[in-house]
Structure 1
Amino acid sequence: MSQDGIDLQTSLGYLLKEASSALRVAMEEVLRPLGMSVTHYSCLELLAQRPGLSNSELARGAFVTRQSMNVLLQALERDGYVTRPAAPPVGKALPTRLTPLGRRSLEQATAAVRAVEVRMLSGLTGAEQAEAFRLLRGMVRSLRDG
């Protein structure tokens, strides 16, 4: 046990963090050869699902700061993965959209990330996978609503 009384071997929070870290490392390994990071991939995936998101919305969705997302978006725009208008159509937000190059890159990255997820779940039955999803969603809900 640690000084504050939490046994890291039996702490669910610590195990979730360890799982999250292992997943991120595995995703980075398959994304690196594609010239992407997890945040790069997350940004493209969010834009594919919800075209026109603002910098702030993308930052929240990818779990990074607005400043970090702005730097990433500038690089993605420079490299031809996304487009943003020179001036905002309404308000201050610059809606971002994927380009055809961004979509093709996302397709490759999605296949690589799915392979990591399949590997992560390979030791579980279908019923165990469904139960894991149910339990994790319940934990997230409890923390957000609590």
Structure 2
Amino acid sequence: MTADVPHRTTTSRATGRPGDASPFALGLLLRRAHWHAAAVMTEALRPLGIELRHFAVLIVLMDRGPTVQRDLAVATGSDKAGIMRVVDDLERKGLAVRKAVPGDRRARAVEITPEGVELFDVAHASAEPLSERLVAELGPGEPERLADLLTRITRHTDGEA
């Protein structure tokens, strides 16, 4: 231990088990839920030939319209090199195109193509039955409540006020 970190004896150490009362418990549960959700959504996207990282960019493009790569990186939690690889993939598949940004010779905006919009819609249709598995253990109204709670938790991390 370092001198500037106070030593405290605690009985709520992270265990990852149900009922864990540690300060890490919620983060651990959210991480496990993310892994589970990502696995299910990956299964839905696999037959379409794209990955979650591709779909995350398509979501941003559908929501915002043409978006410069640096903003795509921020919106998807990617780095500059990673977002370039994803956009390269989407361009090769005909799902997105880069276009010059008027007034900025260096910037390129990424725009979803009609084929990208079509794939986006097909992905939603194919994910519907799989997404029901995510909430199969929840009761009536609980999936909506969970979505509301997660939205409130993440609201400030997404740059919203």
User: Relative contact order: is structure 1 or structure 2 higher (C-alpha 8 Å, sep ≥ 6)?
Assistant: 1
Q: 1:109 to 1:143 in 2, by over 3 A?
A: closer
Aligned twin of 1:103: 117
1:95 aligns to what SS in structure 2? strand
Cα distance in 2 for partners of 1:122, 1:43 equals 28
**1:55-109: per-residue Cα shift (whole Å, max 9, x none)?**
1221222222121111111221132111222x33233431111111111111111
Contact 2:40 2:131 (8 Å CA) reproduced = no
RMSD of Structure 2 on Structure 1 (CA) = 2.3
Aligned equivalent of 1:38: 52
TM-score (norm 1): 0.82
Deviates more, 1:115-124 or 1:32-41: 115-124
Question: In structure 2, do the counterparts of structure 1 residues 95 and 108 end up closer, same or farther at CA, with 3 Å as the change threshold?
Answer: same
Answering whether residue 13 of structure 2 is matched by residue 5 of structure 1, we say yes
Q: Which has the higher helix share?
A: 1
Mapped pair 1:54 → 2:68: yes
> 1:104 and 1:144, CA in 2 relative to 1: closer, same or farther beyond 3 A?
closer
| Higher share of residues assigned strand | 2
**Change over 3 Å in CA distance of 1:141–1:47 after alignment to 2:** closer
Identical positions, percent = 26
Long gaps (5+) in structure 1: none
Higher Cα radius of gyration: 2
